[in-house]
Structure 1
Amino acid sequence: MAELGVADQLADGPLDTEELATRCGAHAPSLRRVLRELASVGVVRPAGADGYELTEEGSVLRSDVPGSIRSSIRMLGEESFWYAMGKLPETVREGRSAFVARYGELYEHLGRHSEVSRLFDDYMTARAETFTRNLVTRYDFTGVGTMVDVAGGKGSILATILRANPGMRGVLLDLDHVVAHAKELLAAEGLAERCETVAGNFFDSVPEGGDAYLLASILHNWGKDDAVRILRNVRQALKPGGRVLVLEVVLPDDAQPHLANDLDLRMLAIFNGGSERSREEYAELFSLADLELEGVTELGAGACLLQAKPV
């Protein structure tokens, strides 16, 4: 349903199966069987002799609504990500990612496949929606004249911060193939004059002179040594009195059900070394990079903003 865009086609009202199949580029008899199953789980319902309409539950699969999960579902079903989870037993047996063995490192894989890269960027934007919205209402950005978004992707988080703080300027660092997408989004948001995009690799260096450096869903991709290396580069570039802001889904301290536990298995499947971490583990990373954890802001959806300062 997500991949074919069924919910988008049903957004304006019910359609018969033949018409819906034409709009979705699908084989009508096959789609009819899928719609029957979709109706049984409540995301569409029958309308007329051979038609269907969208339910409230199914509306989250539209691409144009707040809280849409369409890009998330499409990302989970993308061939290489599906392979990663399907090969999880092999990864657990060997202690090495079967995904990496077949496709290479994730960001190299994305760099070679532009459609997968764009889908991944859309997924990350949708995934960040809840905690990005809370970020600008729950965290005080007073004193931040320049925000450097390290590996900022399409720039959706930075754009939200800049809109909420009109006096702030931004710098977005990411790889070559990602920066082009960021320029598009920032221009569309009317922020091109307030935000510079820089192509580079955070293992080499990050842009200097920021009052705050944001690392959103970055450190969990890397093992301990690499994560500390990234933080040290940020520490070196930071202005006196500056702050480091790490936005991550943080593991709970007990065995309660938590999104971070599910995400940690996906990190296990897709990366060699990447993992979700507890607050104590992030505090340890900061300490190894001559930084000190000084505050944690809950952002919802399992995410936290961890603020660190130079020691």
Structure 2
Amino acid sequence: MTYSDDLLWGAVGDLSRFAALLTMAELGLADHLASGPLSTDELAERAGAHAPALRRVLRELAAMDLLRPVAPDVHELTEKGGALRSDATDSVRASIRMLGEEGFWYALGMLPATVRDGGSAFAKRYGHLYDYLAKNPTSSRLFDDYMKRRAIPLTQGLVQRYTFPPTATMVDVAGGKGHILATVLHANPEMRGILVDLEHVTAHATATLAAEGLSDRAEVVAGDFFAGVPGGGDVYLLASVLHNWDDDDAVKILRNVREAMNPGGRVLVLEVVLPDDTVPHLGKDLDLRMLAIFNGGAERSRDEYAALFAQAGLALGEVVELGSGASLIEAVPS
């Protein structure tokens, strides 16, 4: 059997393995096993599961080295499986649950239909992702948990690898609940911040910044970045924003930022940058999710970001690798 055959059949098997991972994440099996080994019956009782069905999933999870049998029908959590614990520093539980969420699962399963006609099957059924989340509170909480977990290594990379102007005002555009802004302000005690997002998000951001003791250094503003963004900023951060929109909309957002910034200001775009090669890369996986979920959303290459900046009166500056597949792309007035 050739390598390509192994790769193809491996991809087929990955669907079943992901289903087992999703079951482990949804049922919280790693949390239940955190204190020690359990029999299948004990684990099923704690997880609210059907023991005979669970036993079959545990067999697959053990083959994936996420669990280890220590006695007949008794399993313990392995070091690798510990990454599915809710309290793990590098927990992937939220990411797995998000990918298995009903709408996301539908989107990826309908990718062939999306590719046939060029329009997202998800968008046709559910509308824009953020409208879908607004109508589905459970999915919205899951998405928030996923985004918060995903942001942790990126935010740490941001404050460790990029030098901010020490007394700058940073405007976090579509800053969500404020976790990135809070991290930047803690790392730069003379900076001030403004977070702008839709009105239904601002109360959460205000609460986060207050809990972080930053109410005196950070302002929260309700707004729509297609209509405009707060002026007077020295640094404008767009974290995981542009990849949600097609080129025309992305340029409109960037133009609004360009018009609002102080002279000598800069734009920081936190996104995955696609490489110009055929090597496997996180961005290529994420780009297919963007294709499946958004009409026009996409991950982009360095040259594609440079082209967007040029249309908005900006020029590509420094590109800083942040780890976890993401980069910080700096743009300055052209």
Within the alignment, does 1:302 sit opposite 2:302 as a pair? no
Indicate whether 1:248 and 2:271 are aligned. Answer: yes
Q: Distance in 2 between matches of 1:117 and 1:184?
A: 18
* 1:141 aligned partner: 164
- The one-character-per-residue Cα deviations of 1:263-297 (angstroms, maximum 9, x if unpaired) are 11111101111111111111111111111112111
Is residue 6 of structure 1 aligned with residue 29 of structure 2?
yes
- 1:178-211: per-residue Cα shift (whole Å, max 9, x none)? 3333334333333344322222211111122111
Residues 122-144 of structure 1 deviation map (CA, whole Å, 9 limit, x = unaligned): 11222222222111111001245
CA 1:35–1:184 in 2, change beyond 3 Å: closer, same or farther? Answer: farther
**What residue in structure 2 maps to residue 35 of structure 1?**
58
Mapped partners of 1:120, 1:184: distance in 2: 19
User: How far does the alpha carbon of each residue in 1:223-264 deviate from its partner, in whole angstroms, 9 at most, with x for none?
Assistant: 111000000111111112211100110010222211111111
Question: Partners of 2:53 and 2:183 in 1: how far apart?
Answer: 42
Deviation at 1:6, TM superposition (A): 1.1
User: Where does structure 1 lack aligned partners over 5 or more consecutive residues?
Assistant: none
1:162 pairs, out of 179, 185, 188, with 185
Cross-structure match for 1:275: 298
Alignment of 1:85-96 (within 5 A): 85-96=108-119
Q: Please give the alpha-carbon distance, in whole angstroms, between the structure 2 residues aligned to 1:184 and 1:17.
A: 42
Please, which of 90, 113, 125 is the counterpart of residue 67 of structure 1? 90
Change (3 A) 1:187 1:63: farther
1:121-170 alpha-carbon deviations (Å, 9 max, x no partner): 21122222222211111100124522111111222222221221122222
Question: 121-130 or 88-97, which moves further after superposition?
Answer: 121-130
TM-score (norm 2): 0.89
Tell whether the 8 Å contact from 1:144 to 1:212 is kept in structure 2 after alignment.
no
Matched letter for residue 176 of structure 1: E
Q: Does 1:20 align with 2:46?
A: no
Asked whether the 8 Å contact 2:166–2:188 carries over to 1, the reply is: no
1:221 matched to 2:244 = yes
The count of corresponding residues between Structure 1 and Structure 2 is: 311
| Structure 1 residues 117 and 253, CA gap change in structure 2 (3 angstroms) | same
Q: Evaluate the alpha carbon distance shift between residue 18 and residue 186 of structure 1 in structure 2; reply closer, same or farther with a 3 A threshold.
A: farther
Query: Structure 1 176/6 Cα, relative in aligned 2: closer, same or farther at 3 Å?
Result: farther
- Seen in structure 2, the aligned counterparts of structure 1 residues 10 and 207 have a Cα distance that, compared at 3 Å, is same
| Residue 199 (structure 2) aligned to one of 164, 170, 176 | 176
The separation in 1 between residues aligned to 2:200 and 2:53, in whole angstroms, is 37
Aligned-partner Cα distance in 2 for 1:44–1:178 = 39
2:12 is matched with which residue? none
Give the match's secondary structure for 1:213.
strand
2:312 matches 1:289:
yes
Instruction: Report SS of the residue matched to 1:308.
Output: strand
Q: Which of 60, 82, 100 is matched with 1:77 structurally?
A: 100
CA separation of 1:230/1:310 partners in 2, compared to 1, >3 Å: closer, same or farther? Answer: same
Counterpart-to-counterpart distance in 2, 1:60 and 1:297:
27
RMSD over aligned Cα, in angstroms? 1.6
The C-alpha deviation readout for 1:19-76, integer Å capped at 9, x for no partner, is: 3223222223322222222112110112334332110000111111111111100000
| Alpha-carbon distance between aligned partners in 1 of 2:325 and 2:69, rounded to the nearest angstrom | 36
| TM-score, normalised by the number of residues in structure 1 | 0.95
Runs of at least 5 residues in structure 2 that lack an aligned partner in the other structure: 1-23
Kept after mapping to 1: 8 A contact 2:162/2:320: yes
| 3-state DSSP of counterpart to 2:104 | helix
How far apart are the structure 2 equivalents of 1:43 and 1:266? 26
Give me the identity figure in percent: 67
Question: 1: distance between equivalents of 2:54 and 2:257?
Answer: 51
| Greater CA drift, 214-223 or 8-17 | 8-17
SS of residue paired to 2:61: helix
Name the aligned partner's letter for residue 39 of structure 1.
A
Partner secondary structure for residue 195 of structure 2: strand
Measure, in 2, the Cα distance between the counterparts of 1:274 and 1:89.
Answer: 17
Cα distance, 1:212 vs. partner? 0.5
Residues 166 and 191 in structure 2, CA contact (< 8 A), matched pair in contact too:
no
Given that residues 246 and 298 in structure 2 are in contact (C-alpha distance below 8 angstroms), is that contact kept between their aligned partners in structure 1?
yes
